[in-house]
Amino acid sequence: MELTLWTYEGPPHVGALRVAASMEGVHLVLHAPQGDTYADLLFTMIERRGRRPPVTYTTFQARDLGGDTAELVKRSIAEAAERFQPEALLVGESCTAELIQDQPAALAQGMGLGDLPVVGLELPAYSKKENWGAAETFYQLVRSLLKGQMPPPGQPKPEPTRWRQEGRRPRVNLLGPTLLGFRCRDDVREISRLLAEHGIDVSVVAPLGARPADLQRLPSADLNVCLYPELAGPVCSWLERSFGMATVRTVPIGIGATAAFLRELHGLLGLELPAELEPGAGGVSEAERRSRLPWYSRSVDSTYLTGKRVFIFGDASHAIAAARVATQELGFQVVGLGSYSRELAREVRAAAAELGLEALISDDYLAVEAAMAAAAPELVLGTQMERHSAKRLGIPCAVISTPLHVQDVPARQAPQMGWEGANELFDAWVHPLMMGLEEHLIGMFRHDFEFVEGHRSHLGGAPAAEATGTNTVPAETSGVSAAAATATPAAAPASGAIDAALAWTPDGEAQLARIPFFVRGKVRRNTERYARDHGLSAISEEVLFDAKAHYSA
Amino acid sequence: MAQTLASPKPTGSPDAPALIRENGQREVFCGLTSIVWLHRRMPDAFFLVVGSRTCAHLVQSAAGVMIFAEPRFGTAILGERDLAGLADANAELDRLVGHLLERRPEIRTLFLVGSCPSEVIKLDLAKAAERLNGQLAGRVQVLSYSGSGIETTFTQGEDNALLALVPLLPAAPVAMAAGSGAAPPDQLLIVGTLADGVEDRFRSLFSRLGIPRIDSLPPRRASELPPVGPGTRVLLAQPFLSATARALVSRGAQLIPAPYPLGVEGSRAWMAAAAAAFGVAPAHVQAVLAPLVERGQRALAPHREVLAGKRLFLMPDSQLEIPLARFLARECGMELLEVGTPYLDRSLMAEELALLPPGVQLSEGQHVEHQLDRLRAARPDLVLCGLGLANPLEAEGIATKWSIELVFSPIHGIDQAGDLAELFARPLRRRALLSFA
């Protein structure tokens, strides 16, 4: 057993639901107890859909357990097939049904449902999670629909450049977008437009908006674009193995990544690379012509962003992409990088190593909060969860990844990918930070009655808690992670040393209080480390300045 | 074994409301959802669900943003080792609870909440609670109840939680009346979670009526339990407390039959029934409540204008449906097409059923597709339903009032009648307001 207050992912059958609900003409029969229909709300409320997700739940109750639950499964399957007339039927179990082992998939396959393709799902609810479930469902569905088309072994691979011989425009599949993914709706639109401008057609987008018949057309594209590796990674690998289709694996989030994505795509398709996509070709690059981020980030107003300490956590793809954008395109310093996606832990570790960090791979949110507090960042880029731990720690935060809530399924166009996605990233990540002038003036004049420290007047609302003298250390929430107990938030009050062997003198404390609040946590830590390293037990203001000189040298 | 009825078969006598009993897919919450309000009602309690990631996901989806504001609930997620019997479930539970209490010494009451997975694998949480009580004697009381979907629907989770508290209630001292005969009641126990403001208001009104002692279950602190005994009269504030009501009766308390305190009429009858049980003169009841009734009806009037004549269809959710239907029909002039409830306790609902318009169509249980077929055929003006159905029905052009809000809003009492009607009038007003032409 593990104690969990917040789970970054739902159970695997929620991933199966996401695939079914994203598609057209697919129905899922889920063997599940009464109450598991709560998952419908994820689609009707968070995604704000105007239709019920295409799911029939058996919703068995205790009184059914004494009877024939297998019969209930069969009846549910028959009713769903009859009422909804799907083009493909998925059959799976939730965690409770997994325990009673009715084998719903086998039952469905033995029911003689005519030509209806039935895909049985094995979703181990006690060892796997939502994204795995979605990837597995997508993979099983594609595999069963394409089994009959598989070329015999030894057949030469289709060339991604064959479009030229066939006298048509190149066409690609966009794989991985789903409902309840992060901004998939607008990413698909943005990337489709981007490809169209480069003379590339989109053949099939899947799962989002695809029908089973569309999945059967997958092999007719020249290659696959793996937009969301957490979801489409296994399908892309299988299409590579079985149909010889090449995969574009760069995730086009950020300026550099979008350019790299286009270069990878052009290379594989044998398309001539436009001069403005050549790195270092001089002149205006396509990125600068099409996105405002490069100029916004170079303009003098953004100078104060330089070296801002940022902590990043999310699914692997978004976290890795965010780290690159933060470091290379906004000039932040990444002080923490992590992910809950164990399947892609290796990639996250590699990205963290490049930044001289050790990746945090965890799905324990208290461990994440503790790491956040220890890194003392000035900005957090995370999930819905980090938004709240950052709030408790008094740190500005923007959301870059699922889990999301309803505010991250906005009415406006808000992609993360491509040139417009980069514009969105700039606005969303800079917005929570204190604006430059305010930062200067609060650093100079500490006695204002309104613009007290920690106050970000462009966000409205009251000043930060610390300014009013209250302690922003979060109350212990659950007692799961011992690390959280020893973590001191970045915005802790100026008094009291982290290390009991050290004591701050009154003048040392007064000087610490003069440090702007958003870097105070880091200064306190550095000063105490300096004092320990130099065998000092009392920290005066002189020690603080010594440490400051030592670490800036 | 569940039966799918191709066509609903009304049962009962001709003058009784017609009843459709259905089985099939149910679009309802499980009892775990009750944690979302119970943890606020009793801040010194912690609710530990023993279940799967699905349970954790449900509670966090339902609790929305509250999960971060120092949560007082969590899930002990079963892993493969627990299922394979490689880990001793009791030892694991002891370890987790020990860990939890070490870090949260302020917890006074710990509820172990059963779920579908824990019940299917027959994890005996009652025994575990007993054992932990032995270990933690005096420091923390450990209780267990089921909030599983296979056993409970939505608000029944509260019923089971309160049921678990009943054995811990101290015995009320028996008041010895002068002479012989039955002792007069000496305590009114209001049962069912109410909003703080509503509860305070009821207490002050019952004091004005001259009722000597008023207690609440659940209390505001799980460690401050009200006494119960032969001198206790129980007044149910919520209709979904079948098991709790029976357990209190078995402790010697007497149930006051009354409709539920929704709307002016229901609330007045509810309070008058309590007053009568304590021998308060009807004239005094009239003197105290008449001004409230008059004011309540004034507050209702503008909403009645919107609601009168409108056709209402209620999907099953919380067992509040029958009292709500009674209020909306009698006090707001709505026409009832079908009143669905997840579970119908005829004895606890007797007073309400008597007030329903004659021949109204009731349904118990659900086959959601069949019910939606009936709904679409009827084309109601307003549907009371859960959030899984609300937006899809709106997209079909059918106005909805989402039902969960009724569990999270102060709707009880004469003073809240206007607010309660407004909850139903609002979606209709909004539809009239919006124009995209």
Amino acid at B319: Q
Please give the full DSSP string across B111-176, using - where no structure is assigned: EEEE-HHHHHTT--HHHHHHHHHHHTTTT-EEEEEE--TTT-BTTHHHHHHHHHHGGGSPBPPPP-
β-partners of residue B236 are B191
Which residues fall within 8 angstroms of residue A163, CB to CB, at 6 or more apart? A169, A170, A171, A222, A269
d(CA B259, CA A150): 68
Residue B90: both structure tokens together: 């009791």
| Contact call for residues A90 and A16 (beta carbons, < 8 A) | yes
Fill in the amino acid letter for B293.
Answer: V
User: Is residue A303 scored above 60 in pLDDT?
Assistant: yes
Cα B71 to chain centroid, rounded:
22
Q: Please confirm whether the linkage preceding B218 is cis (ω < 30° from 0).
A: yes
User: Of all residues in chain A, what percent carry a pLDDT higher than 90?
Assistant: 75
Structure confidence at residue B14 (pLDDT): 44
The average pLDDT across B396-415 equals: 94
More confident residue, A445 or B237: B237
Strands A55-57 and A26-31, bridge-based pairing: parallel
Closest CA to A329 of A262, A261, A429: A429
Residue range B275-289: average pLDDT? Answer: 97
Share of chain A above pLDDT 70, in %: 92
Nearest to A4 among B1, B77, B389 (CB): B77
CA distance A265 to chain B (A): 38
Whether chain B has a CB inside 8 Å of the CB on A248: the answer is: no
Tell me if residue A243 falls in helix, strand or coil: helix
Q: Over 50: is that where the pLDDT of A526 sits?
A: yes
CB A477 within 8 A of CB B70: yes
Among chain A residues, the shortest Cα distance to B317 is held by: A35
- Pairing between β-strand A26-31 and β-strand A88-93 as defined by DSSP bridges: parallel
Q: How confident is the model at residue B65 (pLDDT cuts 50, 70, 90)?
A: low
pLDDT single digits (tens) A339-397: 999 999 999 999 999 999 999 999 998 899 999 999 999 999 999 989 888 888 888 99
DSSP label at residue B413: S
pLDDT at residue number A553: 58
pLDDT of residue A363: 94
Average pLDDT of the residues in B320-336: 98
Determine which of A24-28, A168-172, B95-99, B258-262 has the lowest per-residue pLDDT on average: B95-99
What b/e readout covers B85-111, taking b as 16+ CB neighbours within 10 angstroms?
Answer: eebebeebbeebbeebbebbeebbbbb
Report the alpha-carbon distance of residue A427 to residue A415 in Å, rounded. 12
Residue of B nearest to A477 (CA): B70
Which segments within B212-258 are labelled E, that is strand?
214-217, 232-236, 254-255
Q: Which whole-number Å values give the CA distances from B387 to A41, A232, B29, B315, B355, in the listed order?
A: 6, 30, 10, 11, 29
DSSP tag of A382 = E
Q: What whole-number distance in Å separates Cα of residue B242 and Cα of residue B233? A: 16
Amino acid at B150: I
Task: From residue A221, give the alpha-carbon distance in Å to each of A147, A203, A216, A224, A388.
Answer: 17, 6, 11, 7, 43
Least confident of A293-297, A438-442, B222-226, B374-378: A438-442
The answer to whether A4 faces chain B, any CB pair under 8 Å, is yes
Mind listing the pLDDT tens digit for each residue in B193-212? 999 999 999 999 999 999 98
pLDDT classification of B15: cutoffs 50, 70, 90 = low
- If 0-12 CB within 10 Å is exposed, 13-18 middle and 19+ buried, where does residue A527 land? buried
What are the two backbone dihedrals, phi and then psi, of residue B340, each rounded to the nearest 5 degrees?
-95, 140
d(CA A309, CA A370): 16
Closest CA in chain B for residue A98: B117
Q: Does residue B320 register a pLDDT over 90? A: yes
Residue B10: pLDDT band by 50, 70, 90 thresholds?
very low
Write out pLDDT tens, residues A81-137: 999 999 999 999 999 999 999 999 999 999 989 899 999 999 999 999 999 999 999
| Best CA proximity match to A378, nearest among A324, A319, A312 | A312
How far is residue A439 from each of residues A151, A443, B28, B263, measured CA to CA in Å? 63, 6, 51, 55
Mean pLDDT of chain B: 91
Q: Residue B366's closest chain A neighbor by CA?
A: A59
The residue annotated as part of the active site, out of A301, A448, A499, A533, is: A301
- Taking CB atoms and an 8 Å cutoff, what residues of chain B touch A479? 99-104
How far CA A517 is from CA of A91, A351, A513, B337, B366, in Å, comes to 54, 30, 8, 61, 57
Q: Amino acid identity of B46?
A: F
B364 contacts chain A (CB < 8 A): no
For residue B6, the one-letter residue type is A
Residue among A7, A59, A94 minimizing CB distance to B60: A7
Q: Residues of B with CB below 8 A from A40's CB?
A: 27, 388-389
Assess whether pLDDT exceeds 70 at residue A65: yes
Q: Which residue of B has its CA nearest to A68?
A: B1
Under an 8 A CB cutoff, do B4 and A75 touch?
Answer: yes
Kindly provide the b/e burial profile for residues A77-97, where b requires at least 16 CB atoms within 10 angstroms of the residue's own CB.
bebbbeebebbbbbbbbbbbb
Mean pLDDT estimate for chain A: 90
Contact B46, B100 (CB under 8 A): yes
* pLDDT at residue B242, rounded to an integer: 97
Read off the pLDDT of residues A329-342 as tens digits, 9 standing for 90 and up: 999 999 999 999 99
Distances, alpha carbon B257 to alpha carbons A178, A374, B211, B265, B288, in Å: 52, 59, 17, 15, 21
Q: Is B358 on the interface with A (CB under 8 A)?
A: no
Which residues, in sequence order, are bridge partners of residue B385? B402
Active site residue A40: no
Q: How far apart are CA A505 and CA A497, in angstroms?
A: 10
Alpha carbon of residue A506 to chain centroid: 44
| Chain B CB within 8 Å of residue A85 CB | no
According to the model, what pLDDT value does residue A473 have? Answer: 34
| Burial of A113: CB neighbours in 10 Å, binned 0-12, 13-18, 19+ | middle
The rounded distance, in Å, linking the Cα atoms of A14 and A1 is 21
Nearest to A265 by CA among A153, A418, A480: A418
CB pairs under 8 A between A and B: 218
Which secondary structure element, helix H or strand E, spans residue A119, and what is its range?
Answer: strand A118-120
Quick check: B58 contacting A, CB < 8 Å? yes
Residue type, A231: L
Q: Where residue B182 falls among pLDDT bands split at 50, 70, 90?
A: low
C-alpha atoms less than 13 angstroms from C-alpha of B323 in its C-beta half-sphere? 32
Report which DSSP code applies to A150: P
Q: At residue A455, what are phi and psi to the nearest 5 degrees? A: -85, 130
* Optimal mutation site among B49, B68, B160, B364, interface A, most CBs of chain A within 10 A: B68
Which of A18, A42, A59 is the best mutation test for B, with the most CBs of B within 10 A?
A59
In chain A, what residues touch B1 (CB-CB under 8 Å)?
63-64, 67-68, 71-72
Q: What value does the mean pLDDT take over residues A259-267?
A: 97
Q: Are strands A2-4 and B73-77 parallel, antiparallel or unpaired?
A: antiparallel
Cβ proximity of A227 and A417 under 8 Å: yes
* Residue whose token pair is 């993360």: A416
Given pLDDT bands bounded at 50, 70 and 90, which one contains residue A514? confident
Cα B66 to Cα B373: distance, rounded to the nearest angstrom? 36
Residue A477 has pLDDT above 90, yes or no: no
The answer for residues whose C-beta is within 8 angstroms of residue B110's C-beta and 6 or more apart is B45, B46, B48, B97, B100, B101, B132, B140, B141, B142, B143
